[in-house]
Chain A
Amino acid sequence: MKITKKGRRSIVEGDLTPMIDMTFQLIAFFMVLINFTQAEQDEKVRVPSSEVAKPPEVPFESSLTLQMTRDAGVILDGSTFDLEALRPKLIAERQIADATREGGSTELTIIVRADMFVETGKVQDMIRLCQDVGFEKFALRAKDEKAAN
């Protein structure tokens, strides 16, 4: 069998420019949209929406976010508690607030993020527990309807 020698092969180079362009655009897109704020928004909690609930112009000086799931579990700092187990945690938070913040626990705002289908009584039980512990300021959180649409 006769093997013919092939002539000089030329190196085929793909044009990488469009791919790099597109990749840089994707990076720019994600960089612009990335959110570094430590917003406590658990995906299990679907907050109700409201057209007059506007994001605060100035963030709360001190706040504690309590999230209530549909089955009335309370999420605090990533862990889920029932109301009885929540009490010692709240007492500890109050002591920390009293020791470290001006105005103490009375100036700390409890942000209530409750699921839209949880029983209102359960939310009020949680608020009452906070009141028992010594907190006075509350913010009921709702999705900004206008921004959501």
Chain B
Amino acid sequence: MKLRNSQVHGREKVELQMTPMIDIVFQLLVFFILTFKIVAVEGDFNIKMPKAAQGAPSDSLMVPLKLSLRAAPNGQLTGVYLGDTPFSGSPSQKFAQLQNRLVQQVGLDGGPGSAQEEAEIEIDADYHLHYRFVIEAMTAVSGRLDPETGEIQRLIEKVKFSNPKGG
């Protein structure tokens, strides 16, 4: 069969119009860049604190532990006491010692009626103390990461605050 060269040469090359597509693509890109926002992952310490319960006897069977956090006028942590027992070293060392003491006292065995479930702690912090130390204390008393599994081992879940001193 004879191919007619004239037909092949006569065809016009179809070119896609790239300009509108690139315009739209760049607009989309600008939109996503402008709306891009890095949101940090945040978690919570849940506390139930009705006003009537403040200072009222608790329903826990155990006597609430008392954690005192003392501060310098500049807000730095100067002392951590569990009852009358002081802890020494840097703030992180103090909280690590506190956690070890709580593990000894309360244990990590959860379950109905266990000491860990019944235990309650009252945090008494100085007015000027930087809030980050309160969160560090909450972390120390709430639980710890299991070094083997990486899971959270819960410690004391009932936490309450007493009125701050030195305000």
Contact = CB atoms under 8 A, between A and B. Distances in A.
With most chain B CB atoms within 10 A of its CB, the pick from A33, A114, A120 is A120
Interface string A48-71: 111111111000000000000000
Contact of B25 (A27, A35, A132): A27
Given A27-B25, A140-B47, A127 B135 contact: no
B35 A52 contact: no
B36 A119 contact: no
Nearest to A68: B131
Interface stretch (A1-9, A80-88, A95-103, A141-149): A141-149
Given A30-B32, A50-B135, A119 B130 contact: yes
A88 B142 CA distance: 34
A106 to B, nearest CB: 8
Interface in A93-149: 106, 109, 111, 113-121, 123-125, 127-128, 131-132, 134, 136-144, 146-148
B50 A136 contact: yes
A-side interface mostly: mixed
A12 interface: no
B47 A142 contact: no
B42 interface: yes
Contacts of B129: 119-121
Interface of A: 16, 20, 23-24, 26-27, 30-31, 33-35, 37, 39, 41, 47-56, 106, 109, 111, 113-121, 123-125, 127-128, 131-132, 134, 136-144, 146-148
- List the 9 closest A-B pairs by CB distance, nearest first: A121-B127, A53-B43, A30-B32, A116-B132, A139-B44, A147-B41, A48-B132, A131-B51, A121-B164
